[in-house]
Amino acid sequence: MSAVRLSIHIMKERLIAGRMMVIWPLLAIFILFSSWGLSDPKANLPASIVIDSAYDVMFVSTAFIIFSATLGAVLISFDGVSRDRLSGVLEIKLSQPIERPTFARALLLGHWGAIFLPVMILNLVSLAIIWHRLGELPNLEELFIHTLGTALLLFWYTTIQLLASSWAKDLGSSVAIGLGVWMIFTLLWLVLTTVVAGLSGVGVEDLNSKDYVRIDAIMDLFSPNGVYHHLLEMPLSDVDRGMSPALISLAAILWSIIPAYLFQRRIERLHP
């Protein structure tokens, strides 16, 4: 009984769900159009952002991945457990001899695969766009870090969302928890960082000050989007926010293990 085999089945089920009609265009608009626009040599970007290489395009376009792909992960996974629970199908699934941790892993991998696959396909197309517009491609190390970071980011959001779905007793709560978490990390984290900086006595009038950048880098370790950006900054020689690669890797490992462990525990103890 393999979690991978079952997860592929779950992934197929999710990939043909009606909501993919919304997710595919959403992802395509954000990922492809951002690559197209950012790889335009005449592009005039705000905040003194300079794009010198193919990886710079990929790095800046991750802002759009964070916005669209994480929302896609939320939309795919928000009812990953709660829908089956409400319909009674979960009773049938939990009464099967499959071990609960294996079932939990299959759910995680299946839902993650259903968002990672479209994002990777579009990322490959965006690479082709970058190559067409700039005449160059990122090197293998950059490509590996970008792919790994994106895979991890989507895994973290999928796990958090499935955990929320397993807690929720109805679809409304499930959506509310999922979107709430997404908004905190995607839209409100800057506000939280500013508040923490203010409370720590760091001036927030200059967001490029050394002290603020330090606080921002630390706060980023507690957000999946922040850890994602830390990972992507690793190959950039001109970016240094004072975080060691070991600390960033540790944060990535903890973000991968803790929510997944909590989800597995939740499924082990779940009553239909």
List interacting residues with other proteins (CB under 8 A): 1, 5-6, 9-10, 12-13, 16-18, 83, 86-89, 91-98, 103, 271-272
**Cβ-contact 51, 57 below 8 angstroms:** yes
Q: How far is the CB of 75 from other proteins (least distance, A)?
A: 15
Residues 6+ apart with CB under 8 A from 12: none
**Cβ-contact 157, 73 below 8 angstroms:** yes
* 257 C-beta neighbours (distance < 10 Å), count: 11
Q: How far is the CB of 100 from other proteins (least distance, A)?
A: 10
What span, in angstroms and rounded, lies between the C-alpha atoms of 242 and 101?
A: 38
Q: Which is nearer to other proteins, 17 or 236 (CB)?
A: 17
Q: Which is nearer to other proteins, 7 or 225 (CB)?
A: 7
Q: How far is the CB of 7 from other proteins (least distance, A)?
A: 10
At position 155, the amino acid (one-letter code) is F
Q: How far is the CB of 120 from other proteins (least distance, A)?
A: 23
Q: Which is nearer to other proteins, 86 or 247 (CB)?
A: 86
Helical segments of 221-244, H only:
224-233
Residues 27-54: b if buried by 16+ CB within 10 A, e if exposed:
bbebbbebbbbbbeeeeeeeeeeebebb
Q: How far is the CB of 255 from other proteins (least distance, A)?
A: 25
Q: Which is nearer to other proteins, 18 or 46 (CB)?
A: 18
Q: Which is nearer to other proteins, 96 or 237 (CB)?
A: 96
Residues 6+ apart with CB under 8 A from 226: 189, 219, 220
Three-class SS state of 4: helix
Q: Which is nearer to other proteins, 89 or 250 (CB)?
A: 89
**Cβ-contact 23, 76 below 8 angstroms:** yes
Q: How far is the CB of 70 from other proteins (least distance, A)?
A: 24
